[in-house]
Amino acid sequence: MKFSNFLFPAAMSAADDGRIIDETLQEAQLTDALGYDTIWLAEHHFDGIVAYVDPVSFAAALAVATTRARIGFAVAQMALHHPIRFAEQIALLDHLSKGRMIVGLGRGTAYNIYDYQGYGIDHTEAQARFEEAEAIMFEAWKGQPLDHHGQFFNLKLPELRPAVFTKPHPYVIRAAATEHGMLDIARRGNPFMMNVQSNAITTQRMDLYRQTLRETGLDDAAIATKSDECWAWRNVFVAETDAEAERIAVPAFIAMHEHRVAMRNRIYAEQKASILPMPPPGSAPPAHAAIEHALVCGSPATVAEKLGPLKAAGVGGLIMQFRLGPISYEQAAASLTLFNQKVAPEL
């Protein structure tokens, strides 16, 4: 399995932004020094749930501050990006990182309508904008003149510069939050990134993914290679004992999710606007907000045991968020280091 660190740092107030950004860069450098495979970056706006906000800009800092780890997006919200501007930025990052970029793409958030409102984008257009933008980027990276007339973009350019470092283009992977989305990716013969799900759903989707690849005509070796490129997300906290891990991680996890829904609730109270229907009071949380599914915490032995089913499911890599909500940099760094020393070898 591949192990990675998802830098998803919350700044609980605007006064914390600068400090958290500085500490996140420090966490990235530690991740690189410890030998993790990938450093992942997220994109969210206007609420502080991702202090650095823009994964493209922050990736440029990581490209020169690290030397070994790949740098990935989990994910860039493509409905909010102009495809030519984004293609140029990725080409530059491809050079700065010497080919270490993983261009993780998604249509955009399924929860925070204010992300779209702030950019003047209709959230119902997000998927269509994503599809068109991705197709434009692949064409632009070919280094040929581009003349495009589509639903959202009318473009004419002689050549994209800089030319990409990685030929024919930087590595691109899509995220899938639903089974339907995963099946669409599988039918194209591509790997995917899975958001937080229960172990049972994760296993079910990986089985269905491999079955779908087989139906497209891929042989067992090709299916194994594609599966090895698939990633699943979990929130992870490791301490010397189960009790110590739970004491720190459980309240931090709860505070993290309260922070993530606070602006969503505020906007709904002010505008009665949301992307998905607001959950009724007292309803069970989805898997990504449920401690039993989304949080893996404990001693090294406990964490290794809890992550074992993901290895058995055939997930190729773990996207692990170590800094949870208000926990300190020092606590996150200790967890990150302990995982590397005592959990990774068991897996």
Write out pLDDT tens, residues 199-220.
999 999 999 999 999 999 999 9
Q: Is the sign of the CA dihedral 148, 45, 61, 101 positive or negative?
A: negative
Residue 11 pLDDT > 90, yes or no? yes
Q: Could you tell me what percent of the chain has a pLDDT over 90? A: 99
Answer whether 35's CB lies under 8 Å from 340's CB.
yes
Please tell me the predicted confidence (pLDDT) of residue 322. 98
Please tell me the predicted confidence (pLDDT) of residue 151. 98
Q: Could you tell me what percent of the chain has a pLDDT over 70? A: 100
Widest CA span of the chain, in angstroms? 61
Q: What's the whole-number mean pLDDT along residues 70-87? A: 98
CATH of the domain at 163: 3.20.20.30
Q: Which amino acid is at 237?
A: F
Residue 92 CA, distance from chain mean position: 21
Residue 14, H or E segment: none
Residue 72 pLDDT > 90, yes or no? yes
Answer whether 309's CB lies under 8 Å from 203's CB.
yes
Average pLDDT, the chain: 97
pLDDT tens for 276-299 read 999 988 899 999 999 999 999 999
Please tell me the predicted confidence (pLDDT) of residue 281. 86
Partners of 146 in beta bridges: 157
Answer whether 70's CB lies under 8 Å from 62's CB.
no
How far is it, in rounded angstroms, from Cα 177 to Cα 195? Answer: 6
* pTM for this prediction: 0.97
Residues with Cβ within 8 Å of 346's Cβ and at least 6 positions away in sequence, in order, are: 300, 301, 304
Q: What's the whole-number mean pLDDT along residues 77-85? A: 98
Please tell me the predicted confidence (pLDDT) of residue 185. 98
pLDDT tens for 51-65 read 999 999 999 999 999
Burial class (CB in 10 A: 0-12, 13-18, 19+), 280: exposed
Please tell me the predicted confidence (pLDDT) of residue 282. 86
- pLDDT band (50, 70, 90) for residue 305: very high
Report the candidate in 160, 41, 152, 29 with the shortest Cα–Cα distance to residue 102.
41
Please state the domain count of the chain.
1
Residue 196 pLDDT > 90, yes or no? yes
Answer whether 146's CB lies under 8 Å from 139's CB.
yes
Residue 227 pLDDT > 90, yes or no? yes
H and E: helices and strands count for the chain: 12, 12
Please tell me the predicted confidence (pLDDT) of residue 175. 97
How is residue 176 written in tokens? 């899938």
Q: Which amino acid is at 137?
A: M
How is residue 69 written in tokens? 């780890």
Report the candidate in 10, 77, 72, 14 with the shortest Cα–Cα distance to residue 40.
72
Burial class (CB in 10 A: 0-12, 13-18, 19+), 291: middle
- pLDDT band (50, 70, 90) for residue 148: very high
Q: Which domain holds residue 36?
A: 2-346
